[in-house]
C-alpha cells in the first residue's frame, strides 16, 4: 500500500552523518562499521532504495540547524543564526542534488502533489524508477536570521515549519522546557499565516502549543507525536491537545522512537527487545487517538526514523523503514477496516495537504 511518512531527517543524515542515501541500508551499515562518532552508527534504517521498496513515495523531509551550546543533538551547537542558516542551505543543496539525479522530486503545491501521486499509483511503472517525493519542512526556526528569511525559504519551497525543537530556541522553547513563544515566535506565526504555511506543533511546550493554537489561523499538523496518556512525558500530546488538533482538522503522525512508544524506555540506555517494543506498539497510540476522535481520520505515520537513532532505539521487529508496511497486517488484526488502514497509510495526510493547498 502507498505510504506517506511525515517526518524524516534525510538531509541531516546525508550531510552531518555523511551517509549516501542512494545506497541500500546494508551498504550504509557496512560503511559505518566500527565508527563511534554518532550513537547510531551502523544501525540506520532509512535509504532511498528502502523507501521505494516500502512503497513510501512521499515524505516530509526536514532542514534543521539550531543556535545552541549543546552539540549533542542533530543540527545543534551552532553559535549564530547566520551559521545555522548556512547549514540549512547545505542541507537544501543535498536535496537539490537528489533532485538533479532523479532520486527525489520536491512537491510544493496541489498540482505537483496530484501528478506525483498518479505516478506512484501507476503499477505499470517499477518503484525502482520512481523519484521519492518530498515536502520541505523546517524543524526548529533558529536558522531564520530574521523574518525576511522565511520569505527566502518559502521561495525555494519550504512549506511546513515547527518553531521549536529541543530546549531553548530563538522563536520558541522546546522539548524539555516550559514557557511560551518568544516575541519573534509570535511574529513568525503571523508571517507564516500570511504565506499559508503548515504549522507543525511538534516539540512545542504546553504553553507554546496553547499560544500557537490560539494565534495561528492556517493549517496545523503534528508531524511526529505520540500520546502522553500512554507515555507520560512532555514530548507527547496530552488528550486535551489531541482534542484541539482534531477540532482543527489536524493529522498526528505516529513516531517510531522507542522512547516515545514505551513509558519505561530510557534514552540511550534501554533495550527495545527487553521491553518488547514492536512496530505494533505504535498502534496503541493510533487506537487512543481514534477513540478520542471517534474515527480514523486524524492519525498517520511520521516515523522520525534515523532521527539520531537506529535499530537500537526503534521497534525490535523493524530492520529498515520498508518494514512500516507490516502495519497493514497489524492494523487488520487489530480490527481496523481497509478504509481505516488507507487513512493511516496515506489518505489522511493526502486530504490534509489537498485542503491546505487548495
**In which residue are the cell numbers 530546549 written?**
167
> What's the burial of 270, exposed, middle or buried (CB within 10 Å: 0-12/13-18/19+)?
middle
Exposed / middle / buried, residue 335 (Cβ in 10 Å: 0-12, 13-18, 19+): exposed
- Domain with residue 130: its CATH number is 3.20.20.140
Q: Which residues pair with 60 in a beta bridge?
A: 135
Residue 44 half-sphere exposure toward CB, CA atoms < 13 A: 34
- DSSP-derived pairing of the beta strands 252-254 and 198-200: unpaired
Number of folded domains that form the chain: 1
| Cell numbers found for residue 145 | 536570521
- Rounded CA-CA distance 197/204 in Å is 17
- Going residue by residue through the chain, which has 358 residues, state the pLDDT in tens, using 9 for 90 and above: 999 999 999 999 999 999 999 999 999 999 999 999 999 999 999 999 999 999 999 999 999 999 988 877 778 889 999 999 999 999 999 999 999 999 999 999 999 999 999 999 999 999 999 999 999 999 999 999 999 999 999 999 999 999 999 989 999 999 999 999 999 999 999 999 999 999 999 999 999 999 999 999 999 999 999 999 999 999 999 999 999 999 999 999 999 999 999 999 999 999 999 999 999 999 999 999 999 999 999 999 999 999 999 999 999 999 999 999 999 999 999 999 999 999 999 999 999 999 999 9
Q: Are 168 and 158 in contact (CB under 8 A)?
A: no
C-alpha separations of 67 from 77, 140, 145 in Å: 6, 10, 10
pTM of the model: 0.98
Q: pLDDT tens digits, residue range 129-144?
A: 999 999 999 999 999 9
Domain that holds residue 27: 3-357
Are the beta carbons of 4 and 350 closer than 8 angstroms?
yes
Cα angle value 238/185/226 (rounded, 5°): 20
Amino acid at each position: 500500500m502507498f505510504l506517506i511518512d511525515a517526518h524524516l531527517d534525510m538531509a541531516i543524515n546525508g550531510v552531518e552523518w555523511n551517509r549516501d542515501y542512494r545506497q541500500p541500508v546494508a551498504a550504509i551499515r557496512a560503511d559505518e562499521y566500527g565508527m563511534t562518532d554518532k550513537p547510531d552508527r551502523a544501525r540506520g534504517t532509512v535509504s532511498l532504495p528502502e523507501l521505494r521498496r516500502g512503497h513510501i513515495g512521499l515524505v516530509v523531509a526536514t532542514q534543521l540547524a539550531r543556535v545552541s551550546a549543546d552539540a549533542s543533538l542533530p543540527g545543534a551547537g551552532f553559535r549564530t543564526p547566520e551559521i545555522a542558516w548556512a547549514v540549512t542551505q547545505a542541507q537544501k543543496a543535498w536535496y537539490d542534488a537528489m533532485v538533479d539525479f532523479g532520486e527525489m522530486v520536491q512537491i510544493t503545491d496541489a498540482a505537483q502533489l496530484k501528478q506525483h501521486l498518479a505516478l506512484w499509483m501507476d503499477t505499470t511503472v517499477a518503484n525502482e524508477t520512481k523519484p521519492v517525493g518530498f515536502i520541505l519542512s523546517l524543524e526548529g526556526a533558529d536558522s531564520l536570521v530574521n523574518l525576511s528569511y522565511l520569505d527566502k525559504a518559502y521561495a525555494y519551497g519550504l512549506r511546513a515549519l515547527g518553531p521549536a525543537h529541543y530546549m531553548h530556541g530563538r522563536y520558541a522553547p522546546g522539548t524539555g522546557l516550559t514557557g511560551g513563544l518568544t516575541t519573534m515566535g509570535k511574529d513568525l506565526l503571523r508571517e507564516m499565516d500570511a504565506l499559508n504555511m503548515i504549522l507543525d506543533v511538534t516539540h512545542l511546550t504546553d504553553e507554546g502549543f496553547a499560544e500557537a493554537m490560539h494565534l495561528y489561523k492556517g493549517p496545523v499538523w503534528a508531524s511526529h507525536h505520540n500520546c502522553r496518556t500512554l507515555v507520560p512525558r512532555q514530548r507527547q500530546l496530552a488528550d486535551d491537545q489531541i482534542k484541539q488538533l482534531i477540532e482543527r482538522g489536524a493529522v498526528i503522525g505516529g513516531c517510531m522512537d522507542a522512547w516515545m512508544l514505551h513509558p519505561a524506555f530510557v534514552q540511550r540506555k534501554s533495550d527495545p527487545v527487553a521491553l518488547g517494543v514492536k512496530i505494533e506498539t505504535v498502534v496503541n497510540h493510533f487506537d487512543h487517538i481514534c477513540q478520542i476522535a471517534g474515527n480514523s481520520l486524524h492519525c498517520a505515520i511520521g516515523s522520525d526514523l534515523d532521527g539520531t537513532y537506529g535499530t537500537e532505539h526503534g521497534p525490535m521487529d523493524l530492520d529498515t523503514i520498508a518494514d512500516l508496511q507490516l502495519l497493514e497486517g497489524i492494523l487488520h488484526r487489530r480490527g481496523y477496516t481497509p478504509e481505516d488502514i488507507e487513512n493511516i497509510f496515506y489518505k489522511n495526510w493526502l486530504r490534509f495537504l489537498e485542503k491546505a493547498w487548495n
